[in-house]
Amino acid sequence: MGGQTILLTVDVEDWFQVENFKQTIDFSDWEGCEWRFEKGTRVLLDLFAQCKVSATFFILGWNAERAPDLVREIQDRGHEVASHGFHHDLCSNLGQDDLLSDLKRTKEVLEHICGSSVQGYRAPSFSISDNVITALKQLGYQYDSSFDSSGLNSRHGKLDLSDFRKTGFAYTDPDGFSEIPVSNLQWGNSIIPWGGGGYFRLFPASIFNWGVRNILKANNGYVFYTHPWEFDPQQPRVNKASLSNRFRHYVNLGRTEQKLHSLIKSFDQENFMSCKDYLLSLSTVGSVVSPPNPIMSGDAVSKLSKPNESVETPSS
């Protein structure tokens, strides 16, 4: 098996659960909304089956409780089931006790459905922090995949990875807990979000794939994220949301499936695997430390995020 590694990740949440619509749709409205995440998730499962690739699905506990068959189907079709928290609350909005309770409940719900251990976590809207890592370790999670070094979105968190050792494109601490950052593109002195979401829908496939090729060259790996609602152009429209939030959420929804197919086919010589299997492959190969990585070098590694700026990026 040659090639570089691509980690496809899916944050399983519905159109009414995204951060961009939180001002418009209250949690108390969720039960009454039209649930469509199963449909969107199955579009992805079918696409992945067609392309013969494996992925990681970070699933909300609220959704897992309502669609346990979908969670089992994800696992049965060869993918990793992981946690996206219970209610999509930003970690930064939760006290440590509530955070622990959210992470614990989600892990238990998913493990009860799957009958196997859940190792991974992605924070809602990448709202990671050192405190979240501490909580994850306390609860037996093995890795997190929430760090975005671009620092372009005020919701995104910061991490101090100075005690972590870089192995492949993951970072592992002395206790064996790993962080798998979402990929960005280094362009001159700028770090451009290139991990998926709205940017993936906005840019033409040829440009996006060119960026991925550059990230693979620099990093020997690429971490992509998407959501089921990005594959559901028929979803209800939230007309009360702001114009900018509607643009970020709805831009090019009708083309996402075709673009992801193009991305996977463009890189079909590479190794697509789940986050869990990637970390396992690193430990099997035996801790080969990569050379300094331009995508995550210098400030991006030790301080991990510049002060937040005004540019908004789509929610995770």
Least Cβ distance, residue 135 to Zn ion (angstroms):
18
Least Cβ distance, residue 281 to Zn ion (angstroms):
26
Is the Cβ of residue 67 or residue 218 nearer to Zn ion in the bound state? 67
Say how far apart CA 263 and CA 257 lie, in whole Å: 10
Helix (H, G, I), strand (E, B) or coil at 179: strand
CB atoms within 10 A of CB 236: 11
Say how far apart CA 64 and CA 59 lie, in whole Å: 7
- Map tokens 């997190």 to a residue: 144
Is the Cβ of residue 124 or residue 198 nearer to Zn ion in the bound state? 124
Using a 10 angstrom Cβ sphere, with 0-12 exposed, 13-18 middle and 19 or more buried, the burial of residue 85 is buried
- Phi–psi pair at 156, nearest 5 degrees: -70, 145
Least Cβ distance, residue 162 to Zn ion (angstroms):
27
Asked if 141 contacts 120 with a C-beta cutoff of 8 angstroms, the reply is yes
Is the Cβ of residue 12 or residue 279 nearer to Zn ion in the bound state? 12
Say how far apart CA 222 and CA 128 lie, in whole Å: 20
Least Cβ distance, residue 176 to Zn ion (angstroms):
26
Is the Cβ of residue 79 or residue 122 nearer to Zn ion in the bound state? 122
Is the Cβ of residue 178 or residue 316 nearer to Zn ion in the bound state? 316
Least Cβ distance, residue 186 to Zn ion (angstroms):
25
Interacting residue ranges for Zn ion, rule: CB under 5 A = 11, 13, 124, 316
Residue nearest to Zn ion (CB): 11
Say how far apart CA 229 and CA 211 lie, in whole Å: 24
Asked if 109 contacts 64 with a C-beta cutoff of 8 angstroms, the reply is yes
Is the Cβ of residue 13 or residue 232 nearer to Zn ion in the bound state? 13
Least Cβ distance, residue 38 to Zn ion (angstroms):
16
